[in-house]
Amino acid sequence: MKIIYQVAIQVFAFLIRFIAPFNHKIKLGVDGRKGLLDRMRESLPGLVAGRPVAWFHAASLGEFEQGRPVIESYRDAYPDHFILLTFFSPSGYEIRKNYNGVDFICYLPIDTPANAREFVRIVNPRIVFFIKYEFWFNYLRELRKNGSYILSFSSIFRSNQIFFKSYGGFFRKMLGYFDHLFVQNRTSIDLLEKANIGACSIAGDTRFDRVRAIASSARELPEIARFKGASQCMIAGSVWDADMQVLIPALNALTGKLKAIIAPHEIKAEEIAGWRTQLMGRSILYSEVAAGQSPDDFDYLIINNIGMLSSLYRYGNMAYIGGSFGVGLHNILEAATFGLPILFGNKSYHRFQEAVGLMEKGGAFSVADTPQLLKIVESWVENPVEARSAGDISSEFVLSGTGATDLIMQKVREAMG
């Protein structure tokens, strides 16, 4: 299996270089890794200047946001340490490459034996944090040889993962390289212990800490408040076309009774234009509002930029979160922390523990189609107290889930001495 893994990594490295000219996202990652080790070899020793190095690795943007509370708590606890942040995906690196909470940000070189050996030699991290789902054999092996203290946090394990299969011994070995794994639930602990991985404990999900921090520092957006006025308002966050095909007929049925702020997961002008033609009410783009057009007399505000969503939820009475009719449910906690009742599609949400948990408590609801969605939203519009009661459950759910960062930092202090 080790040989298969090493061959697969080499094939993967070849394929992404081959595909890069035809795929913009992949090209960003390939170009960002060109000459990276040479640049690090030249610049990093001078930047580190003998300080202890803490290395945080996130696959993409979502994992970075999950890890951010720990990064910032580490910075507060060890202000004299050097913090390195790496990303695997361009969707994380390109958006957060200017994040000022760390000292150096770069892509993670592909996990070949040579790359891992040289990267660890250059960085020489004293402590390493892998956020959620990152398990790279060559890096873990080299870090173990280097004597680095290795942590994983916000992980969640399921019985169908390869670690727990009869043929998964090689992958279980990766888990054994960690000094400690902080997981989200009891099921994960049971699976790890059954696999003879004893250095593990439940800390929960650091995203709860992150969204609480977001809520306390959310921006005031006067233009959004002006758009909403005295109306009830739905925030449709991270929506895809599959979500909008369920949402649009419901919004049309409620024209004049409910406003909506629509934040697409991906900004595609042609797709947005198509939605606007299907919506019966008047719609305006955020870029038009930012350019000075009044949003007062519009039913729908469509956000055609990135980075505002977490501050928009404070202006909602309810939220619909996208992704569950396709790739997978997006972040519901940002809406929940503002005390909104939450809706999402009934397809791809089951692997998200927070969605299942909030549904069980009555703060979130899955819908299969427009009639189900319309029935719930109409009830909330006609009876705002009902919506607020479900929203109170949402905010309490987030509050009760905070504290993971403190547990992780307690272990860090033990490890650092």
User: CA-CA distance, 97 to 31, in Å (whole number)?
Assistant: 14
User: CA-CA distance, 147 to 126, in Å (whole number)?
Assistant: 8
Over residues 198-213, the pLDDT tens digits come to 999 999 999 999 998 8
pLDDT attached to residue 328: 93
Q: How confident is the model at residue 214 (pLDDT cuts 50, 70, 90)?
A: confident
Over residues 217-226, the pLDDT tens digits come to 888 999 999 9
The reply to whether the predicted model has a pTM over 0.85 is no
State which CATH number among 3.40.50.300, 3.40.50.11720, 1.10.4030.10, 3.40.50.1000 fits the domain covering 2-205+402-416.
Answer: 3.40.50.11720
User: CA-CA distance, 219 to 252, in Å (whole number)?
Assistant: 30
What are the boundaries of each domain within the chain? 2-205+402-416, 218-400
Average pLDDT for residues 328-342, to the nearest whole number? 96
Backbone angles phi, psi at 195, to 5 degrees: -90, 10
The pair of three-digit structure tokens given for residue 170, joined into one six-digit string? 């090689």
Contact 127, 148 (CB under 8 A): yes
Contact 384, 317 (CB under 8 A): yes
Contact 262, 346 (CB under 8 A): no
Contact 126, 52 (CB under 8 A): yes
Per DSSP (E only), the strands in 273-368 are 283-285, 300-302, 318-321, 342-345, 364-367
pLDDT for 216 beyond 90: no
Is CATH 3.40.50.2000 the classification given to domain 218-400?
A: yes
Could you check whether 2-205+402-416 and 218-400 share the same CATH topology?
A: yes
User: CA-CA distance, 235 to 233, in Å (whole number)?
Assistant: 7
Q: How confident is the model at residue 215 (pLDDT cuts 50, 70, 90)?
A: confident
User: CA-CA distance, 25 to 89, in Å (whole number)?
Assistant: 9
pLDDT for 288 beyond 90: yes
Of 116, 117, 50, nearest in space to 80 by CA: 50
Over residues 376-385, the pLDDT tens digits come to 999 999 999 9
Over residues 9-41, the pLDDT tens digits come to 999 999 999 999 999 999 999 999 999 999 999
Which residue(s) pair with 234 in the sheet? 260, 318
Contact 81, 52 (CB under 8 A): yes
